[in-house]
Structure 1
Amino acid sequence: MCELSGEAVKRYADEWTVAVSDVTPLAREVHELVSRSELDAAAALLPKERPYPAGDELLAALRA
């Protein structure tokens, strides 16, 4: 596991985090739909995921 320290902590808190959103109501709605086996409806509420454009050097470092 990798931990943030020093300058990375400061940047994470002061620069890289641009918003914090409470997704509790959404999570409850998704949970309710899943519990009723309405998986397509639940999936439609989830945010769309995009691949992160990582180069070979970064990917190699993450695998190490």
Structure 2
Amino acid sequence: MLNDAYLVFSDGASFEAVRVQCALGKVQAAKAASLSKGARVTIRGRVAGLMMDVLVRDCELVGQ
């Protein structure tokens, strides 16, 4: 995920155990660029596993 854009969803706690990290393609990254921190969005993707965070691939922003 080093060169991929991604969104991180969390509850904002300082020491939360699990976050959701959504990898975005170029088109979705352009859509996400207009988001502000704390914005409410709906996403759809494919869960790829757990590596400290829940990793979700092929994410789409389907609602804002």
Q: Whose Rg is larger?
A: 1
* TM-score normalised over the length of structure 2: 0.22
Structure having the larger proportion of residues in strand: 2
Higher relative contact order (CA 8 A, sep 6+): 2
Q: TM-score, normalised by structure 1?
A: 0.22
